[in-house]
Structure 1
Amino acid sequence: MSELTTVARPYARAAFEFANENNNIDTWYEMLVFASAIVENPTMAEILKSDRAKQEIGKLFIEVCSDQLDKNAQNLINVMVENGRLTALPTVTALFYDLVIKNKKEIDVNVVSAYVLSKKQKTELIAALEKRLALKVNINCSIDKTLITGMMITAGDLVIDSTAKSQLNRLFNTLQS
């Protein structure tokens, strides 16, 4: 997975920078999502694994995408085909989305708690997360009674687990060592 991310990152960054310079981020994201769905199609996945010539695969892919991709997106697809990286397109799309979120300077945070958070608790949590992440926080709360107490906060790659189970596991590991 990390190897695929390493391969996809330069393509995502180049696409994002181009889209940002041309004030076309939303359109680019839509094109990438569409093209990623084509890559993930089982029939297309078989074609991408085949021994067909790169130009043939690129031409076929562009034909399948029809007029859903503009010339610049088609160029990106052709470069990825040429380098044998088209299977990384879904990861490129995910990384592109991450760049969009960072550019907007906001992040979606999922909070799973044992009980309903009060308005005051939500406000304090948002303020603390905004300070820590240096981004505007959009909070999504849900309840999981099996947690007993505490909460699990997920924001992109960041996970803060203050659930009872997590605390007991840390205590157990400390006592074991």
Structure 2
Amino acid sequence: MSADAVVEKYSQALFDAVSTTGKAETIAQELNAVSKIFAEESVANFFVSPFNSADNKAMVAKAALEGKCSPETFNFIIMLVKNERMTALSQINESFQVAVRSLSGETEGVLYMATEPSPEFKAQVEAKLSTTLNKKVRLKSEKDASLLSGFKVTVGGWTLDDSAQFHLNKLKEDISKRGM
């Protein structure tokens, strides 16, 4: 099974188990926190080491998490440990977070600009996209040195390109069509 298939399988299974219980947001917060802890180098090395048995790893995970998170999160992490899937925890968490945001009508995207956008501009783009897509859109920003001016936004499989390069290419196409 490919790594992406593993991530999707476990993420979807957890989402299916908690989406109708009203605990999805809580589980998402817990999974995010646990994922950060297990991403720490020394912790991650312990759980991927072939010198530690699955039972030993499960015992350590149980001691670390018991009583500190919901039974759903606890059981999910123990299952990942026993099935030797802890290397996928970070990606499973990301996929699960997307599913939970989707459940609450939220989505995430990326705003690409040559420079860091002002908070006002970012909020304006989020508001416009939220209205257009009929979902609450949260954007993270990334610098893209190839953009001389303007911006690009990707949300899910949808892209808005308002860069200078895009407009110049469109102008070039229009001129070519007119035979100038």
Whether the TM-score (by the shorter chain) exceeds 0.5 is: yes
Cα distance in structure 2, aligned partners of 1:141 and 1:57: 38
How far apart, in 2, do the equivalents of 1:14 and 1:99 lie?
11
Counterpart CA distance in 2 for 1:38 and 1:143 is 28
Question: How has the CA–CA distance of structure 1 residues 69 and 140 changed in structure 2, closer, same or farther, with 3 Å as cutoff?
Answer: closer
Contact 1:113/1:143 (CA < 8 Å) preserved in 2? yes
Q: Is the 8 A contact 1:31 1:68 kept in 2?
A: no
Q: Which moved more, 1:162-171 or 1:68-77?
A: 162-171
**RMSD of Structure 2 on Structure 1 (CA):** 3.8
* TM-score after normalising by structure 1: 0.70
Task: Determine if the alignment matches structure 1 residue 6 to structure 2 residue 5.
Answer: yes
- Cα distance in 2 for partners of 1:65, 1:58 equals 10
Identify unmatched segments of 5+ residues in structure 1: 172-177
- Residue 126 of structure 1, aligned match among 125, 128, 140: 128
Change (3 A) 1:140 1:126: farther
Letter of the 2:87 counterpart:
T
How many residues align? The count is 164
TM-score, structure 2 as length reference: 0.69
Q: Separation in 2 of the partners of 1:148 and 1:142?
A: 14
Give distance in 2, aligned partners of 1:26 and 1:135. 17
For the Cα contact (< 8 Å) 1:4–1:91, is it kept in 2? no
- The structure where helix makes up a greater share of residues is 1
2:96 maps to what in 1? 96
Unpaired stretches in structure 2, ≥5 consecutive residues:
173-180
